[in-house]
Amino acid sequence: MSLGMYRYDDYTSATNTPEELAALETFASIIQQGGSTAVVVPDIQRVKFNKNFWNIAFSSTVALTRHPLTALFCPPAPPSSGPVQASAAQGLRLEDHAVPALKGALRELVTLARAIGWSDAEDTGVPAAHVDRTFENTAALHRVPDNGLMPSMLVDTLAGRPIEVEVIFGNVVRLARRYNVDTPRIDVL
């Protein structure tokens, strides 16, 4: 868990005051004593924004399709595996259409990050390399047909509960409007 001081309408400050640091470290120690991991960061807005890469592209996609990510990343099942015939071209269609659309949404996040003022730096910014890294890490994890991992948005969708649209998308969309960044793919998701 990342812990930081939320500064309303300030997205680029990257320093905690001594008082903020003391409060955050006290809270982190309580979490750690309970057996969890907690890391104090000086720029929680940027850390949260980086987390949106995965949620915006992948969590929303599985909620919309009602299928786990293995449906996107696993090769098609052989025709004899069930009543629905798998198309040999399914993987090609995903590669031609779904993959570029998802990567396009991730690139929109990078464009927004630059407009906000975050650099391309690996540990203090929002690196453009995050697009391919997020995609490849997710693909590697979900190429295993029975991995069983389901994003919370899919779990909520399948259970008929409200999903985290505002939490995941709300501020990103508002920031895009504020900084005049076009986000057509994110808007659709």
CA–CA dist 168, 160 (Å, integer): 18
Q: What is the pLDDT of residues 127-168, one digit of tens each?
A: 999 999 999 999 888 888 778 888 889 999 999 999 888 988
Q: Is 80 exceeded by the pLDDT of residue 182?
A: yes
CA–CA dist 2, 48 (Å, integer): 9
| The model's pTM | 0.83
Nearest CA-CA partner of 135 in 105, 175, 111: 105
The tally of CA atoms less than 13 A away on the side-chain side of residue 28 is 16
pLDDT on residue 156: 93
Nearest CA-CA partner of 115 in 168, 169, 172, 56: 172
Amino acid, res. 123: D
CA–CA dist 42, 76 (Å, integer): 44
Q: What is the DSSP string of 135-166?
A: HHHHHHHHSSTT-----HHHHHHHTT----HI
Q: What is the pLDDT of residues 57-108, one digit of tens each?
A: 999 988 998 888 888 887 665 555 555 444 544 555 677 778 889 999 999 9
